[in-house]
């Protein structure tokens, strides 16, 4: 299921008044102070729980979440999660339970809990797509039934970024039943489906547990409070020292690679985990340069959450703010970090980012051109990096056998232009780029023909919007060139990805419903950039049944662009296509923007 696809039930929740008893005057609620369920039922319970040492948290939360003799607060001590996970809970405490909290206090509480009741890097990584706001198709490998149950309403990302005791998983689902009407309907529906599966003769007895109990069982063993990873990480966690110069290699779908640098400066105390940033980068294709300034805060020793603002249009959409959010995972060695920068307003617009700390050695980040052709000379390649040698000779730059560097056209510490010839019989495929003494992951593909192109993503999703209340959700497509590889067949394992190419973009009818002419209503694709802009939301009197402008279409890329345009020519362009679903707005928004301050 697509992440963050809204559900109809959630729409109902959003408009329903809170059930009686919630949002009333603050009073210690039974669930917050109730005797632990496992004890009540006489089960053996390990003596888990993280003592709270922050006076602020004790003062603000301890009124309802009582401390025990070991300084453990009910609920709070039995759960760990990401900064976003904590923020969500704190917000509910404020809105639903009338917790009085000033913004500055909320920040400090959040910081304390994310640091001390947080996740280890190995635990946080699988949920990175959620914090990085990637609109991806995520399949949970753990347990199908649990996934089905939980993703009826929200992303599985918000589940897998939690660690809890069994009792806490139980209370969470009880909270769902109490607060979010409809939960029981979902749970019951799943039970109904289960009952229909008749026992198999001679097979194991059917699993007739209630789906909620099954989910609790699964979640408590898959995402327990106590873990070896957290024990190890929390014992040695320290504020990361990130100040200095970092080389930046990024990728923006549709526009390709960017290269540049980020200068990170400590803000105040070098142990505060707070930084300011100055970033410049260049789009390798096209050469546009962007400068940005920002701030960042590192939670739990590795989770960078930042904001930045700057000049230069990265996304060619009128009215899109240039404010970005930054989510990065800092490696244990404090020498690499990776994640995603995305526009605060539109999660779908963003860049993948990787940072390498710049020391004294040269680093090769990548190339502007992703492929070089066999049997051709004077092919210019733009190499990007840091500390690149300014006096390099052709012999210092190496692409492996069959590729000769004829000349260094120009060289600066961050960019080198070389002219190469590729032998007619040079072996095809990707090869790494070496510059004397430098490290890096740059590579370039040697090819002789572009056999086919693929449109990425293969199935896109856009949302109507821009009417009274809801914003549009855009979909950027890109055309990626491929060679068939040694087996001479397309769509096999040995295909060689050659990289992003400029295609001519059109949309065509996807014949799902006869004569619905979706392509005339869903919106428009930019012929050159591949950016799809959906139509406005709301009923359209020009459409049959006064329908909304939703629908599904093919998105078609033709390469090269001029052949796509020239219908008279005998030569045919190579084409690729993808499915695009244009649907109604997302009526609910899950968002925790404040973690990035
Ligand atoms: C006025 C009473 C009150 C205060 C003060 C309060 N809470 Fe709660 N808390 C509740 C209630 C009621 C619940 C159970 C219902 C729910 O989960 O919303 C709860 C549940 C929780 C849970 C479990 C939520 C889950 O996802 O299962 C956590 C964690 C929590 N609170 C954290 C905090 C923190 C942190 C603070 C202080 C910043 C705080 N609470 C302050 C009343 C309070
Ligand atoms: C009927 C709809 C529905 C179903 C089914 C559902 N959830 Fe939720 N869940 C919600 C809503 C609504 C929220 C609150 C969203 C918000 O506050 O932004 C929520 C919030 C959460 C949170 C965050 C709670 C917090 O404040 O810490 C977790 C964790 C969670 N759900 C886990 C689960 C799990 C696990 C399942 C499956 C066993 C599940 N949910 C199934 C509707 C649902």
Say if CB 283 and CB 351 are below 8 A apart.
no
The arithmetic mean of pLDDT across residues 37-47, rounded, is 54
Say if CB 279 and CB 306 are below 8 A apart.
no
pLDDT value, residue 182: 79
Structure tokens at 370: 């992703």
The arithmetic mean of pLDDT across residues 530-552, rounded, is 90
Ligand 2 in reach of 89 Cβ (< 6 A)? yes
Residue 266 or 11, more confident: 266
pLDDT value, residue 102: 94
Closest residue to atom 39 of ligand 1, CA basis: 61
pTM of whole model > 0.85?
A: yes
The domain defined by 452-583 carries CATH number 3.40.1010.10 = no
- The b-or-e profile of 183-194 (16+ CB within 10 A means b, else e) is beebbeebeeeb
Ligand with minimal distance to 82 CA: 2
Ligand 1 in reach of 61 Cβ (< 6 A)? yes
Q: What is the Cα–Cα distance from 554 to 577, expressed in whole angstroms?
A: 6
Cα 89 to middle of ligand 1, angstroms: 7
Q: Kindly report the average pLDDT of the chain as a whole number.
A: 87
pLDDT value, residue 84: 96
Would you call 341 exposed, middle or buried from its count of C-beta atoms within 10 A (0-12, 13-18, 19+)? buried
Cα 351 to middle of ligand 2, angstroms: 29
Q: What is the Cα–Cα distance from 84 to 2, expressed in whole angstroms?
A: 20
Ligand 1 in reach of 89 Cβ (< 6 A)? yes
Ligand with minimal distance to 157 CA: 2
Ligand 1 in reach of 172 Cβ (< 6 A)? yes
Ligand with minimal distance to 100 CA: 1
pLDDT value, residue 364: 94
pLDDT value, residue 100: 93
Cα 267 to middle of ligand 2, angstroms: 36
Least confident of 182-196, 276-290, 315-329: 182-196
Split at pLDDT 50, 70, 90, the class of 40 is very low
Give Cβ neighbours of residue 312 (< 8 Å, ≥ 6 apart). 288, 289, 290, 291, 322
Closest residue to atom 1 of ligand 1, CA basis: 26
Task: Provide the CA 295 distance to its chain's centre, in angstroms.
Answer: 20
The arithmetic mean of pLDDT across residues 147-159, rounded, is 91
Task: For residue 63, give the ligand 1 atom closest to its CA.
Answer: 5
pLDDT value, residue 593: 63
pLDDT value, residue 39: 44
- Is residue 545 scored above 60 in pLDDT? yes
Task: Report the percentage of the chain scoring pLDDT > 70.
Answer: 88
Query: pLDDT digit string (tens) for 412-453?
Result: 999 999 999 999 999 999 999 999 878 778 999 999 999 999
Say if CB 462 and CB 532 are below 8 A apart.
yes
Question: Beta-carbon neighbour count of residue 129 at 10 Å?
Answer: 19
Ligand with minimal distance to 151 CA: 2
Structure tokens at 13: 């929740």
Q: What is the Cα–Cα distance from 296 to 307, expressed in whole angstroms?
A: 6
Closest to 185 measured CA to CA, from 12, 19, 21:
12
Closest to 508 measured CA to CA, from 571, 554, 454:
554
Ligand 1 in reach of 225 Cβ (< 6 A)? no
Split at pLDDT 50, 70, 90, the class of 2 is very low
- The b-or-e profile of 1-26 (16+ CB within 10 A means b, else e) is eebbebbebbeeeeeeeeeeeeeeee
- Is residue 510 scored above 50 in pLDDT? yes
Fold exhibited by the domain 363-447: Immunoglobulin-like (2.60.40)
pLDDT value, residue 436: 82
Q: What is the Cα–Cα distance from 416 to 382, expressed in whole angstroms?
A: 6
Say if CB 536 and CB 548 are below 8 A apart.
no
pLDDT value, residue 345: 80
Cα 76 to middle of ligand 2, angstroms: 17
Give Cβ neighbours of residue 396 (< 8 Å, ≥ 6 apart). 389, 435, 436
Say if CB 432 and CB 442 are below 8 A apart.
yes
Query: pLDDT digit string (tens) for 260-319?
Result: 999 999 998 888 899 999 999 999 999 999 999 999 999 999 999 999 999 877 888 887
Split at pLDDT 50, 70, 90, the class of 5 is very low
Query: pLDDT digit string (tens) for 396-405?
Result: 999 999 999 9
Q: What is the Cα–Cα distance from 484 to 495, expressed in whole angstroms?
A: 5
Q: What is the Cα–Cα distance from 127 to 132, expressed in whole angstroms?
A: 9
Residue carrying the six token digits 């753990």 = 142
Residue 533 or 11, more confident: 533
Q: What is the Cα–Cα distance from 251 to 284, expressed in whole angstroms?
A: 10
Ligand 2 in reach of 64 Cβ (< 6 A)? no
Task: For residue 101, give the ligand 1 atom closest to its CA.
Answer: 38
Task: Provide the CA 97 distance to its chain's centre, in angstroms.
Answer: 31
Split at pLDDT 50, 70, 90, the class of 163 is very high
Cα 133 to middle of ligand 2, angstroms: 17
pLDDT value, residue 147: 93
Ligand with minimal distance to 12 CA: 2
565, 567, 571, 572 alpha-carbon torsion, rounded to 10°: 70
Give Cβ neighbours of residue 478 (< 8 Å, ≥ 6 apart). 253, 254, 455, 456, 500, 530
Least confident of 101-115, 285-299, 583-597: 583-597
Split at pLDDT 50, 70, 90, the class of 589 is low
Ligand 2 in reach of 96 Cβ (< 6 A)? no
Closest residue to atom 32 of ligand 2, CA basis: 159
Task: For residue 588, give the ligand 2 atom closest to its CA.
Answer: 18
The arithmetic mean of pLDDT across residues 358-387, rounded, is 95
Ligand with minimal distance to 171 CA: 1
Ligand 1 in reach of 99 Cβ (< 6 A)? yes
Closest residue to atom 34 of ligand 2, CA basis: 150
Say if CB 556 and CB 577 are below 8 A apart.
yes
Residue carrying the six token digits 């609920």 = 75
Ligand 1 pocket: which of 60, 79, 87, 89 to mutate (most atoms <8 Å of CB)?
89
Structure tokens at 107: 């920040």
Q: What is the Cα–Cα distance from 393 to 416, expressed in whole angstroms?
A: 11
Closest residue to atom 1 of ligand 2, CA basis: 183
Closest residue to atom 29 of ligand 1, CA basis: 76
pLDDT value, residue 586: 79
The domain defined by 244-312+319-359 carries CATH number 2.40.128.120 = yes
Ligand 1 in reach of 96 Cβ (< 6 A)? yes
Say if CB 356 and CB 336 are below 8 A apart.
yes
Q: What angle do CA 318, 323, 326 make, to 5 degrees?
A: 130
Split at pLDDT 50, 70, 90, the class of 350 is very high
Task: Rank 9-13, 37-41, 490-494 by mean pLDDT and report only the highest.
Answer: 490-494
Ligand 2 in reach of 152 Cβ (< 6 A)? yes
Domain chopping of the chain, boundaries: 8-196+207-235, 244-312+319-359, 363-447, 452-583
Task: For residue 28, give the ligand 1 atom closest to its CA.
Answer: 2
Least confident of 420-429, 445-454, 502-511, 564-573: 564-573
Ligand 1 pocket: which of 64, 90, 103, 112 to mutate (most atoms <8 Å of CB)?
64
Structure tokens at 158: 């918000």
The arithmetic mean of pLDDT across residues 334-355, rounded, is 94
Say if CB 254 and CB 141 are below 8 A apart.
no
Q: What is the Cα–Cα distance from 442 to 155, expressed in whole angstroms?
A: 35
Least confident of 56-70, 322-336, 369-383, 565-579: 565-579
Backbone dihedral region for residue 291 (phi beyond 0: left; psi -120 to 50: alpha; all else: beta): beta
Task: Report the percentage of the chain scoring pLDDT > 90.
Answer: 68
Ligand 2 in reach of 158 Cβ (< 6 A)? yes
């Amino acid at each position: 299921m697509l992440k963050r696809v809204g559900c109809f039930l959630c729409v109902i929740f959003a408009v329903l008044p809170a059930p009686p008893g919630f949002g009333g005057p603050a009073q210690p609620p039974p669930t917050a102070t109730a005797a632990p369920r496992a004890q009540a039922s006489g089960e053996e319970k390990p003596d888990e729980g993280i003592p709270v040492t922050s006076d602020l948290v004790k003062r603000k939360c301890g009124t309802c979440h009582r401390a025990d003799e070991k300084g453990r607060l009910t609920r709070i001590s039995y759960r760990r999660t990401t900064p976003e996970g904590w923020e969500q809970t704190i917000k509910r405490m404020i809105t639903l339970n009338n917790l009085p909290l000033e913004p500055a206090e909320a920040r400090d509480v959040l910081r304390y809990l994310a640091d001390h009741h947080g996740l280890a890097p190995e635990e946080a990584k699988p949920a990175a797509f959620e914090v990085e706001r990637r609109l991806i198709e995520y399949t949970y490998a753990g347990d199908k039934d649990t996934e089905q149950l939980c993703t009826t309403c929200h992303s599985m990302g918000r589940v897998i970024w939690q660690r809890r005791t069994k009792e806490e998983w139980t209370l969470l689902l009880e909270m769902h039943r109490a607060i979010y009407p409809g939960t029981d309907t979902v749970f019951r529906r799943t039970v109904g489906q289960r009952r229909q599966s008749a026992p198999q003769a001679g097979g194991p007895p059917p699993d007739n547990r209630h789906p909620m109990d099954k989910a609790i069982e699964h979640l408590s063993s898959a995402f327990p409070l106590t873990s070896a990873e957290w024990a190890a990480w929390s014992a040695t966690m320290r504020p990361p020292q990130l100040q200095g110069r970092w080389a930046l290699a990024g990728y923006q779908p549709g526009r390709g690679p960017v290269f540049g640098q980020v200068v990170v400066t400590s803000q105040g105390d070098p142990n505060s985990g707070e930084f300011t940033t100055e970033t410049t980068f260049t789009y390798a294709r096209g050469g546009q340069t962007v400068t940005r300034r920002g701030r960042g805060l590192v939670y739990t020793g590795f989770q960078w959450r930042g904001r930045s603002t700057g000049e230069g249009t990265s996304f060619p959409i009128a009215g899109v703010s240039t404010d970005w959010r930054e989510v990065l995972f800092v490696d244990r060695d404090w020498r690499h970090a990776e994640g995603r920068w995305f526009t605060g307003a539109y999660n779908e617009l963003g860049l993948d980012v990787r940072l390498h700390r710049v020391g004294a050695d040269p680093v090769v980040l990548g190339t502007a051109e992703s492929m070089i052709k066999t049997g051709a000379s004077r092919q210019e390649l733009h190499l990007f990096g840091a500390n690149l040698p300014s006096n390099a000779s052709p012999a210092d730059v190496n692409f492996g056998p069959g590729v000769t560097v004829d000349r260094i056209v120009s060289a600066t510490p961050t960019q080198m232009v070389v002219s190469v010839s590729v032998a007619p019989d040079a072996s095809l495929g990707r090869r790494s780029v070496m510059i004397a003494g430098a490290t890096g992951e740059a590579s370039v593909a040697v090819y002789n023909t572009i056999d086919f192109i693929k449109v990425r993503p293969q199935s896109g999703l856009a949302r109507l919007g821009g009417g009274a209340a809801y914003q549009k959700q855009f979909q950027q497509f890109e055309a990626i060139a491929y060679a068939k590889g040694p087996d001479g067949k397309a769509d096999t394992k040995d295909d060689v990805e050659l990289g992003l190419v400029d295609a001519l973009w059109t949309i065509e009818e996807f014949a799902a419903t006869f004569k619905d002419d979706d392509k005339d209503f869903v919106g428009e694709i930019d012929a050159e950039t591949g950016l799809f802009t959906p139509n406005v939301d709301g009923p359209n009197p020009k459409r049959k049944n006064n329908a909304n402008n939703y629908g599904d279409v093919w998105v078609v890329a033709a390469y090269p662009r001029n052949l796509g345009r020239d219908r008279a020519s005998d030569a045919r362009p190579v084409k690729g296509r993808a499915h695009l679903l244009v649907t109604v707005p997302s009526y609910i928004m899950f968002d925790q923007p404040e973690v990035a301050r």
